Amino acid sequence: MLETFSAPTSQSLVSSTEPSVQIRNLNFHYGEGDLFKQVLFDINLEIYSGQIVILTGPSGSGKTTLLTLIGALRTIQDGNLQILGQELKGLNPKKLVQIRKNIGFIFQAHNLFYSLTARQNVMMSTDLFAHEGGNAMAAAKAAEILGELGLSERVDYKPHALSGGQKQRVAIARALVNRPNLILADEPTAALDKKSGRNVVTLMQKMAKEEGITILMVTHDNRILDVADRIINLVDGNLESDNIINNFSASHDEAGMDSRTFML
Ligand SMILES: Nc1ncnc2c1ncn2[C@@H]1O[C@H](COP(=O)(O)OP(=O)(O)OP(=O)(O)O)[C@@H](O)[C@H]1O
Ligand SMILES: [Mg+2]
């Protein structure tokens, strides 16, 4: 599974003209026969480089399923899905692993290695780690990003000695350390206090604006909605709304918003 979570190194797949994510008529179901359950219905979506898109919607509406499809972690059954210019449908597992190297994943189950320190967990994801003489650089890079996330005092702690929110930040550091082209985050701030949550989104915002990294983030956290360029809402597997934020804030006052947009 390590490869799934390793952050990318190559910038070569990025093109400024193509969307980072392009989804056409995507359907998805779990199970077969009596257990058949369709959870995504005819999804169409384009996300461009440098955009921060927040995906929201009720529990069970298909947000995580959509994120894992975009992350090349599930097989495309019906429809088309292009990531960084590459069609995922029909790709063999080896190719899918290559695609995943350009994606930074942040999931709620953080999957840290418990025998390694915070710094070592982050180092594992760096492109320098495997190279001769690269370890000192990897260690420095790991410590730097942990510092940016407010963990400079904790770099040599192992996960069992870290709080839930601190572990989550180590997982975030690991996803961001190699500056992936695309970041997929599933409720990245859920376990964090206000200040840590803000640090995380500020760092993501900086990466999106300065480095053109595309971010798709599932969140129910109203405190961070302001970083979004766009908010999309999934209800019962259908994309119900798609709001570009400039228009959004100009044309909606908080009381008048569709309550489902902020479903908790
Ligand atoms: N592996 C699976 N097998 C069968 N059904 C599944 C599986 N994973 C999810 N589901 C079902 O698919 C639907 C969508 O689940 P998904 O996890 O994508 O929702 P979600 O929007 O992320 O919800 P939440 O906000 O609670 O995380 C749910 O009805 C769920 O029960
Ligand atoms: Mg989910």
pLDDT at 253: 41
Query: Whose Cα sits closest to atom 18 in ligand 1?
Result: 62
Residue 6 structure tokens: 């390793």
pLDDT at 3: 37
Q: Which ligand is nearest to the CA of 107?
A: 2
Q: Is the CB of 59 inside a 6 Å radius of any atom of ligand 1?
A: yes
pLDDT at 14: 45
pLDDT at 223: 87
pLDDT at 129: 61
Q: How far apart are CA 176 and CA 198, in angstroms?
A: 16
**Alpha helices (runs of H) in the chain, residue ranges in sequence order:** 2-5, 63-70, 93-100, 118-123, 135-148, 164-176, 194-211, 245-251
Output phi, psi for 131, to 5 deg. -90, 150
Give the nearest ligand 1 atom to 68 CA: 18
Query: Whose Cα sits closest to atom 30 in ligand 1?
Result: 60
- What residue has token string 């994120």? 67
pLDDT at 152: 96
CB 237 within 8 Å of CB 61:
yes
Q: Is the CB of 220 inside a 6 Å radius of any atom of ligand 1?
A: no
Q: Is the CB of 63 inside a 6 Å radius of any atom of ligand 1?
A: yes
Q: How far apart are CA 205 and CA 211, in angstroms?
A: 10
For 2-262, which CATH class? alpha beta
**pLDDT tens by residue, 117-147:** 999 999 988 876 666 667 888 999 999 999 9
Taking the centre of ligand 2 as the mean of its atom positions, its distance from the CA of residue 239, in whole angstroms, is: 15
pLDDT at 133: 64
Q: How far apart are CA 62 and CA 219, in angstroms?
A: 13
Give the nearest ligand 1 atom to 237 CA: 14
pLDDT at 246: 57
Give the nearest ligand 1 atom to 31 CA: 4
Q: How far apart are CA 233 and CA 28, in angstroms?
A: 17
pLDDT at 74: 93
Taking the centre of ligand 2 as the mean of its atom positions, its distance from the CA of residue 56, in whole angstroms, is: 10
Nearest to 225 by CA among 252, 179, 261: 261
Phi/psi region, residue 49 (left: phi>0; alpha: psi -120 to 50; beta: rest), is beta
Q: Is the CB of 61 inside a 6 Å radius of any atom of ligand 1?
A: yes
Collect the ranges in the chain with pLDDT lower than 50. Answer: 1-15, 247-264
pLDDT at 131: 60
Q: Write the burial class of residue 194 (CB in 10 Å: 0-12 exposed, 13-18 middle, 19+ buried).
A: exposed
* C-alpha 203 chain-centroid distance: 13
CB 78 within 8 Å of CB 23:
no
Contacts 24+ apart (CB under 8 A), 13-19: 13/84, 13/85, 13/86, 13/102, 13/181, 14/49, 14/84, 14/181, 14/212, 15/84, 15/85, 16/49, 16/212, 18/82, 18/84, 18/85, 19/46, 19/47, 19/48, 19/49, 19/82
pLDDT at 79: 97
Q: Is the CB of 45 inside a 6 Å radius of any atom of ligand 1?
A: no
